[in-house]
Amino acid sequence: MKPEPLLAAQKTVLVFGGSFDPVHQGHVAMVQHIAERFAVDEVRIIPAGQPWQKAGLVATAEQRVAMLELAFADTLKVDFIIDQQEIDRAKQQIASYTVETLQNLRQQYAPQTAFILLIGADQFRNLSTWKNWQQLFQLAHIVVAARPGYSLQLDELPGEFVQLWQQGNDDIASFKQCYFGKTWLETGLAWDISATRIRASLQQQGQSKESIALIPRKVLDYLQSHSIYN
Ligand code: ATP
């Protein structure tokens, strides 16, 4: 008989950060897919703060938050929160690091909460350069979504990082049996889509067949009525 897990998580929270300039169908599909596959109880979407010391994002923080609300309101079966902690810190000219964002979240939830940090394969390649990246494995499980054009390239990443990644590789059920440290590469969906390409397409062609297919309808209407990316 399998032993009862000693540390079964009481709640699983999916954490997904990004610029979301704008949020697109790739983001929505990723969150929906992972939320269902890992049976998460809650989703935290965390838009990055507006950079104050370098060329900024195109849409304002308020617009990106509004678009996220529109994109996720009808699509998720579980509670979701657009968490503005990184935007708030940026307004005070405080830099945000994912490790601190996760630490803040840990303080808001019961200790028996499992967090799943969701990132795309492009971000995975940089993960070992993020501030205190080792701690990320002690704060959350890490799920990487495959992305066309980006392989994980484990052989090019630091050994210590690869070891933690491979050590954590386990089945999906194990993500509920502890609160952090498990890892998973999700290959079940791979949208060839980026916000950069969408912005370029909107700037060059306005609302085209492509942008209509890649952006949630309500977000598209919002973009149009606020003349963003024209
Ligand atoms: P940009 O083109 O402006 O850099 P983006 O489309 O990559 O934007 P972000 O807002 O930076 O979107 O992404 C948020 C998170 O979603 C990141 O972890 C990123 O890797 C991931 N992501 C975005 N698009 C995809 C995709 N098509 N497949 C897998 N992951 C993705």
Rounded Cα distance, 171 and 36, in Å: 15
Q: Does residue 220 have a pLDDT over 90?
A: yes
Q: The tokens 């067949």 sit on which residue?
A: 209
Ligand 1 atom closest to 194 (CA)? 6
How many other C-beta atoms can be found within 10 angstroms of the C-beta atom of residue 91?
A: 13
Q: What angle do CA 104, 60, 90 make, to 5 degrees?
A: 35
- Residues 69-102 have pLDDT tens digits of 999 998 999 999 999 999 999 999 999 999 999 9
Which of 86, 118, 122, 184 is the best mutation target for the ligand 1 pocket, counting ligand atoms within 8 Å of the beta carbon and taking the most?
122
Is pTM beyond 0.85? Reply is: yes
198 lines ligand 1 (CB under 6 A): no
Which of 16, 82, 86, 123 is the best mutation target for the ligand 1 pocket, counting ligand atoms within 8 Å of the beta carbon and taking the most?
123
191 lines ligand 1 (CB under 6 A): yes
Position with higher pLDDT, 209 vs 104 = 104
- Residues 140-158 have pLDDT tens digits of 999 999 998 888 989 999 9
Q: Rounding to the nearest 10 degrees, give the CA dihedral for residues 47, 52, 55, 61.
A: 30
119 lines ligand 1 (CB under 6 A): yes
